[in-house]
Structure 1
Amino acid sequence: MAPTPRTRWIPHYGAALCCTALAGCMVGPDYRSPAAPPTDHYTVTPLPEQTASAPGAAGVPQRFAPGQDIPAEWWTLFHCEPLDTLIRQALADSPNIASAQAVLRQAHENYLAQFGGSLLPSVNAQLNGQREKFNGVTFGEPGVVDYLNLYNASVNVSYKLDVFGGARRQLEGLAAQIDYQRYQLQGAYLALTANIVTAAVKEASLRAQIDATERIATDEDQQLQVLNQQFELGGVAKTAVLAQQTLLAQTRATLPPLAQSLDQTRHQLAVLAGMLPSDPALPEFRLEMFTLPQTLPVTLPSSLVKQRPDILASAALLHQASAQIGVATAAMYPQITLSASYGTEALTPAGAFQQANTIWSLGAGILQPIFQGGQLRAQKRAAVDAYDQANAQYRATVLLAFQNVADSLRALDHDATGLKAQTEAWRAASDSLTLTRGQYRVGGVSYLALLDAQRQYQQTVVSLAQAQASRYADTAALFQALGGGWWNAPPPEAAADTPH
């Protein structure tokens, strides 16, 4: 999940700003990162040490490990090689990742452009040549008319002193924009990988439901054949045959919607991986290909605000809004500009390079806003309001993040309990169907009892497949809610030689 080589070298710019700051004050507030919420847990009631267990690979108990860190490639915890391969391909070919990388590079270039234009002197070389008509009226000698050529070669230097830090605050805001785009890129990595895992699990669940439904339809069709034979022999009424036909038709009617969902999920997987939906190279996923992680790292609440990309991106916007207050404040103070020019001026091209025709100038200017109709003060108040808005949005992002984690933790606990209950329901329905079929053959129960047992079994089989898939999907949702472990990616030196 590391950025591409072209974006790895983009550094943090706080230190660069400190090194390039000129002597003088910087008006406006100095940004401080918001403190983490004062809590040490995500839910009102404590989590169990481990979840409930149920038979099968999807029913293994999961243990919560508070404070344990998340690996950068968290999806490898499912031990599914086709999934790992697909994610590597997606990280390399996804247009969304490429777009986020380009926006990050753009933010970096905007910073460099502003840095060179605001903190460094502007130096320009100028070479002019012009022909003029001279009229003596200007000097009190009417009738004197002449023509002349004028050539000028000079170097001009101008420098705007950043006495009150307006330019440095502007750079501070651009540096915060780079941070924002960097975290947006990390968020794009996290969203892409989580969406692929979730879609792969959904595909596996749909295949399990389709397989179970087809097996049920096969059993119901065999039962229908038996009923037809009994009806021909006068053993059952026509109503029993019609009821079985209805049940079989209803079962088969559930297959097309499942197949449609499966096709849509595979199309989604292909697009997420940067492939066309028609690409035959897309692997197929089934539940038995996944291993449920038995240890679930749970980031401490105090660390969540330092690791989730969306929280960090929101904090970067808050930093940018803080810097804009300084920019608006500095605009109310004097602006000092220094300028210098050195060159030559002559009537011939050759004379423009002679020492005797040298010209030069030195200058300094100061601009103090006096009356702007309240514009500058209104701009400062607007900047403060923008900061208040960014602060409120940051708080909302943090609250949503804690909700995501709390929802995921509770979902995993309830998923395990639900799968255990669903497994028991499936076993009971299976035993009931087997027993009822035996009793029906010997005339111990009516056909309506058999029909009811078949319906209950069908419902429990499909629900069991859904419950199994929920454990995998909600495990991936927890890793996504906790930030995805991107901060544990190998450093650029190590990552440069490894595929994504």
Structure 2
Amino acid sequence: MKTSKRISHRHPLPTTITLLAAFVLLSACAVGPDFERPAASLSQHYDAQAEQQLGKPAAPNAQRIDRGRKLNGNWWSALRSPKLDQVIHRAIDGNLGLVAADATLRQAAAFVIASEGALYPQVDFGAAAGRQRTHNGPEASVSNFYAIGPRVTFDLDAFGGNKRRVEHQQALSDLQKHRYEAAYLTLTGDVASQALLLASANAQMQAVDKLLANDAKNLDLVRAAHLNGTTTRIDVSLAETRLAQDRTLLPPLAQQSDAARHALAILTGSGPADWIAPDFTLDEFALPSNIPVSLPSELAHARPDVLQAEAELHIASAAVGVATANLYPHVELSASLAQAASGNGGAALWGFAAGLTAPIFNGGTLKAERQAAVDGYNASLARYQQTLIQSFGQVADTLQAINHGAEQHLAQADALRAAETSFRLNQQAYAQGENSILQVLEAERAYQQALIGQVQVRTALYLDTVRLFVALGGNSVGVLEQKVASREVPKRTYQ
């Protein structure tokens, strides 16, 4: 309090100006740690074995990866489906999750502007009027009074507490931006996945319909043979059992198809009854033959969830700065100018003051708050590192899934060829009278089941490819800036 009094009244004007200049110079600094982005990861590989296998695939038409190359443009364009492109853009425009994320980001930006206001002088205007009674003499007097004029206050922020608060709000805004990017990435991945599941369900239902037709034909032939006495009741029961079992395959596939349609409607911001997704077929998708895979050292800047963890680390760093600044004195300047009057007299009043508040004893509260902020920073740093290595694990898992999926695809292709050969040989044998029609139908049934298996394996390859694009960030970082830029481009009008 003595220091504050000296600054306001006791020092001569040159000394006061010198002290104020010193505080202004101090206000250019901010105590506490200056945030630095975490160092790039030293990891060189996600999964060396999978990268080697996919870098030089054994099969001529198998997928391969291009390590170190960044993805350009919309990742889903690699699937080459115009229908998918239309649905994804509809989802980007109408998804309510993205609308909420956009509004939350705007709210965070407004808070940044609000916090920056503390860095500037605060100007207020005040007015007061009243009637008062005074006893200045033998008799009491009653008079009117008023005061009107502006008042200016300015926090010198000598130790940067307000600057750290602005930094804190800016980091919160960055966090919301990366949450928007994460929602965008999740949305595009979900739309692509649901479209593929819909196409897969449609393809499998077509194969099951053919299988059921063969089962029904087989049952009719077995029943006819039983009437002729060439087969037993056991054969008839077996054929009925196969038909009944294969019929159970359709309802789950129909449910998968309906659920995918409903999910696509919801993802686009519509009710399931308000918008019906187009029919997708697997044939309209192309499996990307060459997938760009960024290096582990670049993944931290390509995945929104890692950037979210980095923003949270920045928030924790700024909180340490705020808590540190609270340990130091707080200096505020104020000035006022007012026209005031009381009774029959009036005058113009002005004032200038400098105030200083410094913590002396608070029961250890401020030091404990700073220690809590430091511990919070360390916890955020550990969460950032955990998020980063989990992202490496997701990329490694999807790389191995694609690698093993390629192996399964080759095995399923062999099974399909074998079933097709068996079916053809049985047809030839039946034509030559060497086997029965039942053997031909069984071979055809095995061929249809192999076709269903091929659809499932093919779908898995597509879904694993989508997951890999998403795990690599899907080129989603910066989409918000692109959206804002597109808003600012004037639309051409035609007359």
Both structures adopt the same fold (TM-score exceeding 0.5) = yes
Q: Which residue of 2 aligns with 1:216?
A: 211
Secondary structure at the counterpart of residue 70 of structure 1: coil
Aligned length: 463
Matches within 5 A, 1:108-127: 108-116=109-117, 118-127=118-127
Deviation at 1:431, TM superposition (A): 3.0
Determine the C-alpha separation between the residues in 1 that align with 2:287 and 2:33.
49
Cα deviation, 1:7-44, whole Å, max 9, x if unaligned, reads xxxxxxxxxxxxx9974431111111111211221113
Question: Does 2:244 correspond to 1:249?
Answer: yes
Q: Deviations over 1:447-473 (max 9, x none)?
A: 6x7787577545433221110011111
Partner of 1:381: 371
Q: Is the 8 Å Cα contact of residues 190 and 480 (structure 1) preserved in structure 2?
A: yes
Please state how far the C-alpha of 1:488 moved relative to its aligned partner.
7.3
| Distance of 2:186 and 2:203 partners within structure 1 | 26
**2:47 match: secondary structure:** coil
Q: Select between 177-186 and 485-494 the one with higher mean Cα deviation.
A: 485-494
SS at structure 1 position matched to 2:90:
helix
Say which SS state the counterpart of residue 124 (structure 1) adopts: strand
Secondary structure of the corresponding residue to residue 357 of structure 1: strand
Rate the CA distance shift 1:159–1:43 in 2: closer, same or farther, 3 A. Answer: same
Instruction: Tell me, in whole angstroms, the C-alpha distance in 1 between the residues paired with 2:453 and 2:30.
Output: 63
Q: Encode CA deviations 1:364-391: one digit per residue, 9 max, x unaligned.
A: 1111111101110110011011101111
Q: Distance in 2 between matches of 1:493 and 1:251?
A: 54
**Aligned partner of 2:116: which letter?**
F
- 5 Å-filtered alignment, 1:275-354, equals 275-347=270-342
> Structure 2: how far apart are the matches of 1:260 and 1:22?
68
Shift of 1:146: 2.3
> Is structure 2 residue 192 aligned with structure 1 residue 187?
no
- Alignment of 1:228 with 2:218, yes or no, is no
Question: How far apart are residue 412 of structure 1 and its match?
Answer: 1.2
Q: Is the 8 A contact 1:203 1:266 kept in 2?
A: yes
Q: Is the 8 A contact 1:72 1:487 kept in 2?
A: no
For residue 125 of structure 1, what is the amino acid of its counterpart?
F
Secondary structure of 2:89's counterpart equals helix
Deviation at 1:474, TM superposition (A): 1.0
Q: Partner of 1:172 in structure 2?
A: 167
2:52 aligns to what SS in structure 1?
coil
The whole-number CA distance in structure 2 between the counterparts of 1:74 and 1:389 is 34
**3-state SS of 2:48 partner:** coil
In 2, are the aligned partners of 1:173 and 1:319 still within 8 Å (CA)?
yes
Indicate the residue corresponding to 2:47 in structure 1: 43
Deviates more, 1:380-389 or 1:460-469: 460-469
Aligned to 2:362: 372
Deviation at 1:186, TM superposition (A): 1.0
The answer to whether the aligner puts 1:206 opposite 2:201 as a matched pair is: yes
1:259 to 254, 263, 288: 254
2:38 and 2:442 mapped to 1: Cα distance?
Answer: 60
In the TM superposition, what whole-angstrom CA distance separates every residue of 1:61-87 from its partner, at most 9, and x where no partner exists? 222111212123111111111100011
Instruction: Confirm or deny: 8 A CA contact 1:74 1:484 kept in the other structure.
Output: yes
> What is the aligned counterpart of 1:273 among 263, 268, 272?
268
Q: Is the 8 A contact 1:50 1:61 kept in 2?
A: no
Partners of 1:254 and 1:236 in 2: how far apart?
A: 28
Tell me, yes or no, if the aligned pair for 1:51 and 1:416 is still in contact at 8 Å.
no
Equivalent residue runs for 1:392-431 within 5 Å? 392-431=382-421
Given that 2:395 and 2:472 are in contact with CA atoms closer than 8 Å, whether structure 1 keeps it comes out as yes
The 3-state SS of whatever aligns with 2:145 is strand
Superposition TM-score, scaled by structure 2 size: 0.88
Matched, 1:157 2:152: yes
Q: Is the 8 A contact 2:27 2:160 kept in 1?
A: no
Shift in CA distance, 247/439, structure 1 to aligned 2, threshold 3 Å = farther
Q: Is the 8 A contact 2:306 2:387 kept in 1?
A: yes
Report the aligned-residue RMSD: 2.5
Instruction: Work out the CA distance in 2 between the residues paired with 1:497 and 1:159.
Output: 40
Preserved contact between residue 211 and residue 449 of structure 2 (Cα < 8 Å): no
One-letter identity of the residue aligned with 1:28: G
Inter-partner Cα distance in structure 2 for 1:222 and 1:438: 19
Structure 1 residue 281 displacement after superposition: 4.3
SS at match of 1:47: helix
Counterpart-to-counterpart distance in 1, 2:269 and 2:466: 21
Corresponding residue SS for 1:83: helix
Structure 2: gaps spanning 5 or more residues: 1-23
The residue aligned with 1:25 is 29
Question: Cα offset for 1:257?
Answer: 1.3
**Is the contact between residue 119 and residue 167 of structure 1 (CA under 8 Å) also seen in structure 2?**
yes
Is the CA contact (8 Å cut-off) linking 2:328 and 2:358 kept in structure 1? yes
Q: Measure, in 1, the Cα distance between the counterparts of 2:361 and 2:187.
A: 53
Give the 3-state SS of the residue equivalent to 1:373 in structure 2: coil
Q: Counterparts in 2 of 1:127-166, with a 5 A limit?
A: 127-134=127-134, 136=135, 139=136, 141=137, 144-166=139-161
Paired residue type of 2:451: V
2:303–2:477 contact (8 Å) kept in structure 1: no
Cα distance in 2 for residues equivalent to 1:32 and 1:445: 78
Q: After superposition, give the CA deviation of every residue in 1:391-422 in whole Å (9 maximum; x if it has no partner).
A: 11101110111011111111111111111101
Query: Counterpart amino acid of 1:38?
Result: L
Letter aligned with residue 112 of structure 2 = Y
Name which of structure 1's ranges 169-178 and 60-69 shifts more when overlaid on structure 2: 60-69
Q: Is the 8 A contact 1:72 1:488 kept in 2?
A: no
In the alignment, which residue of structure 1 is the partner of 2:90?
Answer: 89
Contact 2:168 2:319 survives alignment (8 Å): yes
Contact map agreement 2:197 2:256 (CA 8 A) in 1: no
For 1:321 and 1:23, the matched residues in 2 are separated by 22
Counterpart AA for 2:287: L
Amino acid at match of 2:121: P
CA contact (8 A) 2:207 2:452 kept: yes
The more displaced of 490-499 and 176-185 is 490-499
Q: Supply the distance in 2 between the matched residues of 1:478 and 1:498 (Cα, whole angstroms).
A: 36
Structure 1 residues 267 and 461, CA gap change in structure 2 (3 angstroms): same
CA pair 461-389 structure 1, distance change in 2 beyond 3 A: same
Normalised by the length of structure 1, the TM-score is 0.87
User: Could you tell me which residue of structure 2 aligns to residue 14 of structure 1?
Assistant: none
Residue matched to 1:17: none
Identity between Structure 1 and Structure 2 (%): 36
CA contact (8 A) 1:412 1:474 kept: yes
**1:208-228 CA-partner distances (Å, limit 9, x unpaired):** 111111111101111111112
Q: CA deviation at 1:278?
A: 1.4
1:79 and 1:290 in contact (8 A); partners too: yes
